[in-house]
Amino acid sequence: MSETSGRSNSKLSDSSSVSEQQTADLSIFSGSFDGGVFSSNIPMFNFAGQGSQSALYSPHPFVKSNDPCRLTALTQSTPKEPMNLTPADFGLADFSVGSESFADFSANNSSFVGNFQSNVRSTRLLPAWAVDASGNIRDDLTLADVVLNGSLIDFAMDRTGVKFLERHFPAENDDEMRRILFDKLTEHSAVFTSLCRSAAGNFIIQKFVEHASLEEQDRLVETMSENGLIELCLDKFACRVVQLSIQKFDESIAMKLVEKISNLDFLPLCTDQCAIHVLQKVVKILPVSAWSFFVKFLCRDDNLMTVCQDKYGCRLVQQTIDKLSDNPKSTCFNTRLQLLHGLMTSVARNCFRLSSNEFANYVVQYVIKSSGVMEMYRDTIIEKCLLRNILSMSQDKYASHVIEGAFLFAPPHLLSEMMEEIFDGYVKDQETNRDALDILLFHQYGNYVIQQMISICISALLGKEERKMLPTEMRLYAKWFDRIKNRVNRHSSRLERFSSGKKIIESLQKLSVPMTMTNEPMPLWAVPTPLMDITAQFLNRENFQKQHSVFDD
């Protein structure tokens, strides 16, 4: 590589003179930008410093000045007039605010237009008359001064200025200044939208939302709807305004706002990291009648799959399931149960696709791990969807987590069926003479299922189960443990080569007492202890075995 190319020129020595820095070779930028690619009417910057067009700008090398917050050019340049940019410069020639043209709006709202232009320059400063010599807001400044001087929007868009507005916000609902502020900030849709989407301005809008009267709440809902409610929900700052509106508004007005949301293109809202918080607030705060449309939306298979496969949407579905199954003694539980049944039917119908997805598998796991009214759906999913598919699902990266959860939370009669399927439910491979247990022992994902089976057996045999264990059940767990241990001992030399195999061997060594697979009397160590009897919760599963599936009707 030559001395004048590559990274060698990018770092000049400390002893380089100013003139040497000025003549640095910028030819690498020549021709980097052409009109064919950038065909908009935004001014083109000539980074090479070539050409005679007066509309182009040439950069100068910069060094640090004494002021740590400033950069100073090394070369003298002719002072230029401030850039008087309008929406036409950005291809927005037809821009208008309500019935006003941009020119008329500029004349009547110089404060807002000044902020619009300062935003283009990435510089937003408070008016000089409002700050002292040190750059802080004057101590004697009042809210009336800000309004009378037409600088309300400047303050609302500034991080320090908006704090001043919040501190001096009128507390009384009938305060004249508060009415003036509300009118100024909401009368123009462009102003209101800019404030909602501003990192600073959204705080003053939230202040109005929090203390709005019923009449003002209605007006705010209409203003949000007129200015593109979906864009507000998708914006990282404006979504906070919508969330607070749902939380603070009167329930009837908040439901009116949700009704307007339901008429939007709903799918993008369910998969956006900002809008998802709006929907979660709706599910958490409002009664189910306000968001039943969302559950019906999820009951369609294509919508359910799209939302559950998203890393944000899967959380929303889990929260919806939790809310629908909560508090079975409430008066509206029958309505919630009907919606829950429809949603669970769709989940069961798409169980295989959901289980094998990176994010959707969490929804199936959530159903399996839930208790209360969700137990009947858990058992039906295990019986109808997982049984007879345990081997294939155990070898999938994501579905194996579902199988692990099923082993851990399955009722005794379904746990027995799952165990027997692993031991005797599949025909041996004719070429390798390996059965399902052999395959899973050495599989990168299946071995975790085996570890879960071992953990369940050890927990039961050591008396760590909460429910009361009958002697016949204890023998069954001892039989399962013995079968796994014998198979592991047979392949121990191969298993020791892998970290997963070592974990399996170590877990088996936690229970060193020999097992029995015969019908002999149960050994003393396996007899349930008095402590187990105190904490046990006896579950009669005979009725459970006789009842039909909840999805049969």
Give per-10-residue mean pLDDT for the chain (553 aa): 43 42 40 39 41 40 41 42 49 47 52 44 64 86 90 90 90 80 88 92 93 92 89 94 95 94 89 94 93 93 95 95 87 88 94 96 96 92 94 96 96 94 89 90 94 93 81 90 92 90 87 48 46 40 44 50
Note the pLDDT of residue 13: 41
Cα–Cα distance, 406 to 408 (Å, whole number): 5
Tell me the pLDDT tens digit for each residue of 335-382: 899 999 999 999 999 999 999 999 999 999 999 999 889 999 999 999
Note the pLDDT of residue 1: 47
Cα–Cα distance, 334 to 340 (Å, whole number): 10
Note the pLDDT of residue 86: 52
Q: Which residue has the tokens 């025909």?
A: 427
Q: Which of 407, 341, 332, 415 is nearest to 374 (CA)?
A: 341
Tell me the pLDDT tens digit for each residue of 108-127: 554 454 444 434 333 346 88
Angle at 271 between CA 267 and CA 276, to 5 degrees: 105
Secondary structure letter of residue 386 according to DSSP: I
Note the pLDDT of residue 512: 57
Cα–Cα distance, 278 to 300 (Å, whole number): 22
For 251-272, letters b (16+ CB in 10 Å) and e give: eebbbbbbeebbebebeebbbb
3-class secondary structure, 299: coil
Cα–Cα distance, 455 to 192 (Å, whole number): 59
For 320, counting Cβ atoms within 10 Å of its Cβ (0-12 exposed, 13-18 middle, 19+ buried), the class is buried
Whole-number Cα distances in Å, 434 to 84, 282, 441, 502: 79, 53, 11, 20
Which amino acid appears at position 198 of this protein?
S
Angle at 494 between CA 422 and CA 392, to 5 degrees: 30
Note the pLDDT of residue 487: 92
H-type alpha helices, 122-274:
143-148, 152-157, 159-167, 176-186, 189-196, 201-211, 214-226, 229-234, 238-248, 251-262, 266-270
Domain regions of the chain by residue span:
287-386, 410-517
Other CB atoms within 10 A of residue 145 CB: 13
Cα–Cα distance, 274 to 269 (Å, whole number): 8
Asked if 234 and 241 touch (Cβ cutoff 8 Å), the reply is no
